[in-house]
Amino acid sequence: MKKKLYFLWKLSWLRTLVQIFFFIAIGYFMAQYVQTQWDQISHNPPQVNWSILLVAQLGIMISMGIQPFGTWLIIKNLNGTLSKPQVWQAFFIGQVAKYLPGSVWSLPSRGFLYNQRGLDSKRSIETVIWETGLAVVAATLVGILTIPLFTNSVYLPLIFLEIGGFSTIFLGSSILLRRTKINLWLRNRIPFSTSLLNIYPHLPIWIMLKALAFYIVQWLLMGISFIGILIALEAPLSLSEAIQVIGLFPCVWAVGLLIIITPGGIGIREALITIALSDIVNDPLPLYVAIIMRLCWLIAEVVNITISSILYAQEKRLQGFQIDPTIIS
């Protein structure tokens, strides 16, 4: 049965048909999502400084575009051979799969697309683990800035217990399992650990830190762009409040990602943004900021998919024009 399915997938016309249906479905659910978001603010639209909002949108697009370079670095050091356009396009197409019902399709979609681009299954899984884990760790580190915004909220301990606990376990296990003694002890004492350790992704520490730096820069730029949305909506912010807001979206993004295993991460992010901002700006501005941020995020995804697809198509076209050197010789 598996061989038959593989044979069918090798048919180019069938792959094209599946891809067309996939993008139609994604487009439909994204349109529904935009409509739902817009309906919440259309009855009383906020005053917007469109020039500042456009700059913020540009910052979000650039910030989002940085993230796949960390992924490319991970793939390169897992002995993968995917080019930057291949990784960039696969990453963003996989990202928008979350708009399908269930909201959990982004991670498996990225792994599948890396595999389709030529990365073997094991390394595809390892790449998704590393890129997701390091992105959450970076978001947690930047998110520390936003702790004062949640000091009056009952959610503060839960938020940082969740993302801080994940980050500590992820980084701690990544470092400790490199030690031969610990590795051997686990293999000898825990029966099923051998199979798990054999598939556990290992990455040199300096590469891990280098990729982590990409994600930290990305989240800092995302946080600064988020401030731009507040300024565009004429929210009065002091310097200390602006610094705290830088960490807000990375923080709630990490929370939403970890909760998304039980669908609802996107709604969780908006709720936490609204709660955090309610102490520094008046209603209904926190809700407007959360919704506009989501719409800007979606636009950035679409733009990055478009640009990466153009670059990927250009790369394939240039590869098609390459002349085999053996013919010349």
Q: Give pLDDT, residue 125.
A: 83
Cα-based distances in Å from 274 to 41, 147, 270, 286, 314: 14, 15, 6, 5, 42
Q: What is the CA radius of gyration of the chain?
A: 22
According to DSSP, residue 324 is labeled: P
CB 156 within 8 A of CB 117: no
Q: Give pLDDT, residue 228.
A: 92
- 42-65 pLDDT tens trace: 677 678 888 999 999 999 999 999
Q: Give pLDDT, residue 324.
A: 46
Task: Centre a 10 Å sphere on the Cβ of residue 90 and count the other Cβ atoms it contains.
Answer: 28
pTM of the model: 0.79
Please work out, in degrees rounded to the nearest 5, the angle formed at the alpha carbon of residue 157 by the alpha carbons of 151 and 160. Answer: 100
Task: Centre a 10 Å sphere on the Cβ of residue 113 and count the other Cβ atoms it contains.
Answer: 20
CB 273 within 8 A of CB 113: no
CB 80 within 8 A of CB 201: no
Q: Which residues of 253-277 are buried (b: 16+ CB within 10 A; e: fewer)?
A: bbbbbbbbeeeebbebbbbbbbbbb
The Cα 154–Cα 204 span in angstroms is 39
Q: Give pLDDT, residue 25.
A: 67
Helices (H) and strands (E) in the chain, counts: 15, 0
First to last CA, the chain: 45
- 185-233 pLDDT tens trace: 555 555 555 555 555 556 777 888 888 898 999 999 999 999 999 999 8
The Cα 128–Cα 124 span in angstroms is 6
Element at 100 (helix H, strand E): none
Mean pLDDT split into 10-residue runs, the chain, 329 residues: 49 62 65 66 75 94 91 84 87 80 73 85 84 88 82 69 74 62 56 54 77 91 92 85 87 79 60 82 83 88 90 80 46
Cβ neighbourhood burial of 108 (10 Å; 0-12, 13-18, 19+):
middle
Cβ neighbourhood burial of 322 (10 Å; 0-12, 13-18, 19+):
exposed
